[in-house]
């Protein structure tokens, strides 16, 4: 977990590029928005299928949800390879592409869920394909960025010797990808994929059932089942959907991610023993006869494809040598670049005009609300820290317990927290707890696990000799915490904070407004501001709200977290 993070948090100075990129993202945001808002009255699909609460349909719904998750994951992978590849090899493109990725990571994707839904419904009028794609897109936006970061940093970190070898053996772009870049980035990519996929459930649960322009759209899936159960106040159905969710997560973990993680270990560069990843399913696969036969078939097909691709590549090489074609390709590239810049600048301008329609008090209100939500995020992170540090350290100092607890926590982290919101909402309603405070636990519910995860990893990493030295030096319990444990886990804690607080911002959009049947609890905050703006379809407010939130996230990342991260790595790094 932590190692991956180091790769993605290289300390860059905040410069003009970042400002440019922020402006650029603003334009991009408005561009997407205008796609949606262009269709003022989208043709909402007629045949909105009613979600049945029949338990026997749950496996079917879970299957539909799973398909969505895997399609989104596939999309994320494609995006990762294309974007990461260009950013890694094209120096001038990377100047913009890397900071852009950083900003995209900070944008609360749930905010413009309704926007993409409207836009996509407009593209496929009267069909469920629109909402379906919007849901997949929402999951994609929750998964893609850190995978791309991981791939980009792995590719840029390939040792020059390996590059030289691939140049000497005249590898084609494709074989360079399969033989060098993919293996080299595999471990980080698989790990980040697993984490992203786990986080994706949250977006799935949030995106399957959505209200756009006063219309309820429910895609057949486990998230909508849950939403329907909430609408009808059917507690049993809620329990059932939670159980189904857990089973689905565990099954995917055991049959897909564990084998993949165990398999990816063969790409380890250093030959160190220990922390071996095991998967019973992978062992089973490896030993089965059927699989080995399938493998041979796949291999022969792959070989055929490869040889045909080689031919294509050779043709390409010849083409490139032609100066005239080179010239045209160049011209095309520049033309495309200018086109994109023109469109975006145009939209930045239009977007600004739109936002300026808001009254000054409305503009200030969003900023003020941002302050409230900021305080909630901090409070949530603090609460998350207070309980995870003692718990995480006692788990981490006991490796046997850790081995047992870690997979459980990973499942807890994957479980979409928004699925337990109804219970908490009911609790708040019954005991008259103000949502102003009540939103805090909701926001951190799903993301505190990342702090716990990291604290455990940190405690596990405390070297034994330092523990012995503290005994030899006669440190008492208090001194042990102060001199050994807290400093040692600090870098891990910071990593956990960054992940958890980022997630909390995203969660604020669904946590600051919660409902049970027809009771709505609304907190004062930016999350609620954005959520109600999307409900009303108020474009200026949506743009402004998302922009403010993204800016706050970006600036806290730069001004607080990254400073802490630097400090942690300089002073408290054990390695």
Partner 1 sequence: MAEALIKLDHIFKTYDLPGNNNSTVLSDINLEIQEGEFVAILGPSGSGKSTLLRIIAGLVEPSQGKVYYKNESGEGFRTGMSMVFQSFALFPWLTVLENVKLGLKNNHSLDEKQKEEKAIEIIDMIGLDGFERAYPKELSGGMKQRVGLGRALVMEPDLLLMDEPFSALDVLTAENLKRDLLELWMEKRIPTKSIIMVTHGIEEAVYMANRAVVLSRDPARVVANIPINLPHWRDKQDRMFTALVDKIYSILTTKEVGAATYKEDKTKKLAQLPNARSGALTGFIELLEDIGQKTDLYKLGDQLNLDLEDLLPIVEAASMLQLVMIKEGDIELTPIGKAFAEATVLERKEIFREQALQRVGSLNTVFSALNSKSNGKMPEEFFLNILTRHFGEEEAQNQLNTIIDWGRYAELFAYDEHVGQLFLEKEED
The footprint of partner 1 (CB under 8 A) covers 266, 273, 283, 286-287, 463, 465-466, 468-469, 471-475, 479, 483-484, 487, 571-574
CA dist 1 and 24 (Å) reads 31
Nearer to partner 1, 178 or 357 (CB): 178
The C-alpha angle 408, 414, 420, rounded to 5 degrees, equals 100
Could you tell me the smallest distance in angstroms from the CB atom of residue 466 to partner 1?
5
Closest C-alpha to 62, from 219, 189, 284: 219
Q: How far is the CB of 495 from partner 1 (least distance, A)?
A: 17
CB of 259 to partner 1, least distance (A): 12
Q: How far is the CB of 399 from partner 1 (least distance, A)?
A: 13
Q: Which is nearer to partner 1, 299 or 326 (CB)?
A: 299
**Residues 6 or more apart whose Cβ sits within 8 Å of residue 543:** 26, 29, 30, 33, 351, 354, 355
CB of 286 to partner 1, least distance (A): 5
Structure-block tokens of residue 113: 């869920």
Gap between the Cα atoms of 192 and 70, Å rounded? 15
Helices (H) and strands (E) in the chain, counts: 26, 4
Distances (CA, A) of 180 to 172, 295, 310, 395, 512: 11, 21, 17, 38, 46
Specify the residue, 2 or 483, whose C-beta has the smaller distance to partner 1. Answer: 483
Return the structure tokens found at 309.
């691709």
As given in the structure block, the two tokens for residue 57 are: 């349909």
CB nearer to partner 1: give 271 or 360: 271
Q: How far is CA 534 from CA 17, 293, 442, in A?
A: 30, 53, 20
Instruction: Output 85 or 483, the one with its CB closest to partner 1.
Output: 483
Closest to partner 1 by CB, 209 vs 459, is: 459
Cβ proximity to partner 1, 297 vs 575, nearer residue: 575
C-alpha 37/C-alpha 18 separation (Å) is: 28
User: 546 near 112, Cβ under 8 Å?
Assistant: yes
Tell which residue, 113, 114, 100, has the closest CA to residue 17.
100
Maximum CA extent, the chain:
78
Q: Which two tokens stand for residue 209?
A: 């059932």
Q: C-beta of 571: minimal distance to partner 1 in Å?
A: 5
For partner 1, the closer of residues 17 and 461 by Cβ is: 461
- Give me the least distance between CB of 266 and partner 1, in Å please: 6
| Residue 193: CB minimum distance to partner 1, A | 20
Where is 514: in which H helix or E strand? strand 513-516
Distance in Å, CB of 195 to partner 1, minimum: 25
Nearer to partner 1, 46 or 273 (CB): 273
Residue from 529, 508, 490 nearest 379 by CA = 508
């Amino acid at each position: 977990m932590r190692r991956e993070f180091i790769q993605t948090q290289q300390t860059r100075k905040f410069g003009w590029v970042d400002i440019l990129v922020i402006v650029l993202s603003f334009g991009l945001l408005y561009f997407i928005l205008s796609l949606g808002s262009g269709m003022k009255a989208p043709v909402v699909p007629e045949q909105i299928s009613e979600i049945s609460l029949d338990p026997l349909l749950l496996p079917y719904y879970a299957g539909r949800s799973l398909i969505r998750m895997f399609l989104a994951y596939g999309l994320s992978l494609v995006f990762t390879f294309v974007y990461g590849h260009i950013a890694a090899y094209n120096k001038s493109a990377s100047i913009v592409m890397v900071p852009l990725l950083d900003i995209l990571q900070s944008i609360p994707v749930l905010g413009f869920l309704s926007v993409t839904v409207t836009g996509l419904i407009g593209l496929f009028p009267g069909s469920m394909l629109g909402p379906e794609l919007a849901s997949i897109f929402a999951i994609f936006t929750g998964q893609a960025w850190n995978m791309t970061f991981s791939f980009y940093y792995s590719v840029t970190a390939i040792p020059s010797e390996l590059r030289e070898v691939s140049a000497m053996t005249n590898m084609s772009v494709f074989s360079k990808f399969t033989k060098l870049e993919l293996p080299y980035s595999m471990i980080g990519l698989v790990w980040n994929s697993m984490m992203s996929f786990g986080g994706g459930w949250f977006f799935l649960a949030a995106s399957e059932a959505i209200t756009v322009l006063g219309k309820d759209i429910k895609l057949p899936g486990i998230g909508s089942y849950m939403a329907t159960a909430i609408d009808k106040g059917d507690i049993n159905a809620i329990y059932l959907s939670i159980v189904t969710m857990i089973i689905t997560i565990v099954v995917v973990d055991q049959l897909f991610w564990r084998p993949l993680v165990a398999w990816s270990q063969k790409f380890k560069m250093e030959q160190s023993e220990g922390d071996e990843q095991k998967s019973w399913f992978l062992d089973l696969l490896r030993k089965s006869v059927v699989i080995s036969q399938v493998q041979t078939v796949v291999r022969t097909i792959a070989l055929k494809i490869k040889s045909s691709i080689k031919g294509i590549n050779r043709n390409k090489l010849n083409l490139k040598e032609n100066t005239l074609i080179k010239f045209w390709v160049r011209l095309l590239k520049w033309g495309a670049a200018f086109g994109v810049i023109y469109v975006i600048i145009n939209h930045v301008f239009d977007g600004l005009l739109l936002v300026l329609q808001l009254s000054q008090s409305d503009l200030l209100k969003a900023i003020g609300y941002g302050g409230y939500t900021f305080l909630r995020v901090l409070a949530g992170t603090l609460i998350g820290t207070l309980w995870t540090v003692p718990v995480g350290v006692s788990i981490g100092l006991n490796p046997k317990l850790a081995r047992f607890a870690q997979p459980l926590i990973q499942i807890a982290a994957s479980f979409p927290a928004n699925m337990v919101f109804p219970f908490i909402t009911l609790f708040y309603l019954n005991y008259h707890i103000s949502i102003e405070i009540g939103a805090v636990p909701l926001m951190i519910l799903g993301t505190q696990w990342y702090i716990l995860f990291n604290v455990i990893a940190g405690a596990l990493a405390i070297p034994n000799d330092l523990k012995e030295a503290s005994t030899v030096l006669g440190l008492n319990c208090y001194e042990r915490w102060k001199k050994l444990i807290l400093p040692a886990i600090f870098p891990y804690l910071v990593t956990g904070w960054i992940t958890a607080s980022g997630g909390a911002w995203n969660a604020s959009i669904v946590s600051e407004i919660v409902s049970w049947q027809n009771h709505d609890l609304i907190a004062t905050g930016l999350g609620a501001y954005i959520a109600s703006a999307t409900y009303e379809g108020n474009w200026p407010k949506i743009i402004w709200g998302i922009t403010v939130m993204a800016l706050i996230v970006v600036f806290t990342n730069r001004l607080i977290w990254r400073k802490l991260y630097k400090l942690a790595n300089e002073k408290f790094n054990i390695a």
